[in-house]
């Protein structure tokens, strides 16, 4: 089975990049435990994202998941990221359904942060 890539958006936040992957599996915290495994390869800048538990097999009369993306995948980070630093994992949204990963930039590429104004 080949590795799937994951669709995502990335935001430049000055001192770090914020990655918002589009996952087709559960990413919320459950009873204080992460439901997703995230690993950064410092050699290549590849960020692997996959569910900690494999998805359930479809029943005989059900269709399979959307694609192999249901099993996770990977994305490549910008070369300006500090691959030696650990990414910070956050869960946003009313019920923590939006996975966000903050990856620090290398010091020479950091700029002033411009946070969004609060309404």
Q: pLDDT, tens digit, for every residue of 70-100?
A: 778 889 999 999 999 999 999 888 888 889 9
User: Of 73, 75, 74, 55, which Cα lies nearest the Cα of 65?
Assistant: 55
pTM over 0.85: no
Are 17 and 116 in contact by the 8 Å Cβ rule? The answer is no
Residue 109 contacts residue 83 (beta carbons within 8 Å): no
pLDDT digits (tens, 9 = 90+) for 18-73: 999 988 777 877 776 788 889 999 999 999 998 887 766 666 666 655 444 577 88
Ordered structural domains, the chain, with CATH: 10-54+64-109 (2.60.40)
Q: Are 63 and 20 in contact (CB under 8 A)?
A: no
How many angstroms separate the CA atoms of 70 and 54, rounded?
Answer: 9
């Amino acid at each position: 089975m080949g590795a799937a890539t994951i669709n995502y958006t990335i935001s430049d936040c000055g001192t770090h990049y914020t990655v918002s992957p589009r996952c087709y599996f559960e990413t919320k915290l459950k009873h204080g435990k992460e439901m997703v495994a995230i690993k950064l390869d410092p050699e290549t800048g590849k960020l692997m994202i996959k569910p900690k538990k494999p998805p359930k097999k479809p029943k005989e009369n059900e269709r399979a998941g959307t694609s192999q993306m249901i099993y996770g995948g990977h994305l490549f980070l910008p070369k300006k990221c500090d691959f030696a630093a650990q990414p910070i994992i956050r869960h946003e949204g009313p019920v923590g359904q939006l996975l966000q990963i903050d990856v620090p930039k290398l010091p020479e590429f950091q700029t002033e942060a411009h946070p969004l104004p609060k309404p």
